[in-house]
Structure 1
């Protein structure tokens, strides 16, 4: 509703004039002499509904002609508290806003057109952007989104770079992947019967941030085909259309206003109303109330209620172990913790975490996201070794040494997850060797509700010690050389219990593990957890100066002698029997099983499994899901990954968008 003040001039008794606005509101008060209102103005504030047209009529017989004071004045004045006038006046008889003699019978009419301007975001994160109260924002509960400060490249290889020019600094959408850094904004302009005045002038629309702290700024793009939905995120064809036909910004809105070209409204809507669907990216951080104003000749005719928006560096939207975190006002009592895999640089692991966070956010996740960094070995490359299928990379980049670190990082993960409020659900998503860290945390007493093993680089026999996990020997070709795999002795079935107790088999099959719901997201053709991991298991274990002697008898004091280390000297006192499984497994033990991430049959403490070769995870035109891509959920474009992240949220029993 728009408050508008209407008033008459003094000496209303003489004029006996009646002012009527619309079908219901009448300003008419014939005072008598002696009445306190005699010779004073009579006024009333009406609240006009937005988007409507109101006739305003004056009439009444003049009983007495007077001097220059005997004038009739009907003013339409601004509302209170800084609310702009909020109307368009059509007044051919000049009855509003003018002083004029009221001779004879005055029956004059004008028209008030009260525009309706609205902005909307998906404030409640249900997947729909509406102008309803459900999507209302406030200063205390703004719509939060991140600044587009990464550098996205086409899918494949390393899809993002660190230190490049941030995508939010240019006027273009750089790639389909860049679209995951955009969100929707809807603008409705209703000027009944007068929309052509907006399409062709003299009316204009401007957008700006008011009541700002920091420097909030958005770059604004038309949604291709003026589509309201999320096709730009989940449909490769729609994303392509967006880049081809609406990939250049139409402007930027900050504290300084952005004028929308009249052409943006042409060909849309009808004579009364236009709804413009927009995509926006964050350019700089800050918060404020985003407004649109309808203007004519520089004067503001009406202004929208505004949408409160807070733009943040994405690092401030999730929690990191040991780093202070500001809780969002609308956070739901759910949590997801992400643990990265082997050979990830600090920048690379953070990028994977932020990629997962953004994709979960777009699917409606409103809980706590925790990123856990562990001290894996890594090279100077950005994330995983390119061509990770060349298995020798596993050895050269210290795969086995990193696994030892992973087993010893479980307590830190437990402590990090204990920072999550106890009333929140606890869900864990670990990738590749990160599942070693997760398993060690569970052994250290971590309690979780659900745990998804994504392409886990952990022997399947850790969870399922049954004979069914023993892998029969078979040959595999590596660079033209055939190597027989799983044909060598392993302590998984060593006849000496003390030696067998240091092996992988059954390591993660205890009751402490069983308290959680473990779901295995496996990929049978994975280049890393199948091809590379099996080569490393066969060729580089035991590693270096570590050794395994099958069936070696127990020595004095009950110390096992089957797994040991020596410094390369011939003297016996340079030999050391291993006692720590977190040293023995990664450095001295072969596994008799495939990885859990490459084995569809793993049972034991694994409660259920999801095959990432299923057709729903495939690229368009394909049927083999992730194929051999060890990190497809991070490296592929968001447009083809909706099924994966929906399944992840389903397993975690977290509310998500269903459309």
Structure 2
């Protein structure tokens, strides 16, 4: 019933950092990394259940999860779902986030935007994996935190699923519905720019088209980790570098069209951004909270489930895995119901 897959390269340092790319032309995009996916049995080969139902649930983990930690989260979800009556196949997808496996604990805390970039780049590999599944099987997906960037990127690459459960999703709500009623950030961002080249690199409605998938937003209004996301959005978007913050990404509406969103370097001329993944991870700020903290998100989102009110998760970002099963059974029953598992 349980399959394991990983996006390749499986180490984040093997994916070139776009901020290191100067290029020979000011409009040049960083080269696309060569990425794919492979099976990853982790010593547990897949065994088909003779009584299985022809459906999949794919789970994608979040930021800064170690290899062992992400496996434990996946195994916990699998056990909870199986005990809840799910009889289809379950698949866990590992993607190359920065974590304590790649950095010291303190250094790993400063890899958010760089991991975000790798999450966007992992979407094509997830889409390719889903396309390889038996066509007679119904495919559903769920993701936690930054894992929803991977899923969103996969949907932009054409991935088709029937049901999608967003868990504490660390994705701007405006990606699903660019609604000014959700705005909390009044500063100027590329989304409000009158230059079409610049505004195209904003977040607005980038994930609104989901090929008919049923999206259910399991949100937590006071999620402590998503509040930290808002701090990062305010301070480190655009991402500047060094103690003096004199180099790095910028947004400057006073510049000429096509030159307003870019990156500057110490020893060379600026490079102007033309790639959405680079902009989304490193340069563009969101005007809204995350969809995982904003229960009013509409657009592509069909339904919202308040995990604070229904399940008592309070502010705990990963309560689904950290809390004992006696406190999480209702959540897993809700996941099974809402995703029609």
Question: 1:92-150 deviations in whole A, cap 9, x for unaligned?
Answer: xxxxxxxxxxxxxxxxxxxxxxxxxxxxxxxxxxxxxxxxxxxxxxxxxxxxxxxxxxx
Q: Is the 8 A contact 2:99 2:108 kept in 1?
A: no
The one of 154, 159, 183 aligned to 1:441: 154
CA-based RMSD of the aligned residues comes to: 1.9
**1:372 and 2:93 correspond:** yes
> Out of 397, 404, 428, which is 2:141 matched to?
428
Q: 1:549 aligns with which of 252, 272, 284?
A: 252
More strand by share: 1
Cα distance per residue 1:373-412 (max 9 Å; x no partner) = 0000112599xx8xxxxxxx79843100100000110011
What SS does structure 1 have at the residue aligned with 2:308?
A: coil
- Alignment partner, residue 565 of structure 1: 263
> Aligned ranges for residues 485-564 of structure 1 at < 5 Å?
486-510=185-209, 513-529=210-226, 531-544=227-240, 545-550=248-253, 552-554=255-257, 560-564=258-262
1:566–1:574: 8 Å Cα contact kept in structure 2?
Answer: yes
Question: CA contact under 8 A between 1:495 and 1:551: conserved in structure 2?
Answer: no
Residues 60-107 of structure 1 show CA distances to partners (whole Å, capped at 9, x for unaligned) of xxxxxxxxxxxxxxxxxxxxxxxxxxxxxxxxxxxxxxxxxxxxxxxx
Q: Is the 8 A contact 1:523 1:626 kept in 2?
A: yes
Contact 1:372 1:416 in 2 (8 A): no
2:326 aligned residue (615, 639, 643):
639
TM-score, normalized by length of structure 1?
0.44
> Given the superposition, is the C-alpha separation of residues 515 and 551 from structure 1 closer, same or farther in structure 2, using an over 3 Å criterion?
farther
Higher relative contact order (CA 8 A, sep 6+): 2
Match of 1:406 among 116, 119, 125: 119
Give the match for residue 611 of structure 1.
Answer: 306
For structure 1, the 5+ residue unaligned runs are 1-316, 386-392, 472-485, 555-559, 618-624, 655-659
The TM-score, its normalising length taken from structure 2, stands at 0.83
- 2:72 aligned with 1:351: yes
Cα distance in 2 between the residues matched to 1:396 and 1:370 = 28
- 1:523-567 Cα offsets, whole Å, 9 max, x none, are 0000011x200110011111121111125322xxxxx21110121
Whether contact under 8 Å (2:98, 2:108) holds in the other structure is no
- Equivalent of residue 451 in structure 1, options 151, 164, 186: 164
CA distance in 2, matches of 1:370, 1:319: 5
Higher helix share: 2
Number of residue pairs aligned between Structure 1 and Structure 2: 296
Unaligned runs of at least 5 residues, structure 2: 6-37, 40-44, 241-247
Please identify the structure whose Cα radius of gyration is greater: 1
CA positional deviation for 1:470: 1.5
Does the alignment pair 1:460 with 2:173? yes
Distance 1:394 1:584 in 2: 23
C-alpha distance in 2 between matches for 1:506 and 1:631: 27
2:336 maps to 1:649: yes
User: Is the contact between residue 395 and residue 540 of structure 1 (CA under 8 Å) also seen in structure 2?
Assistant: no
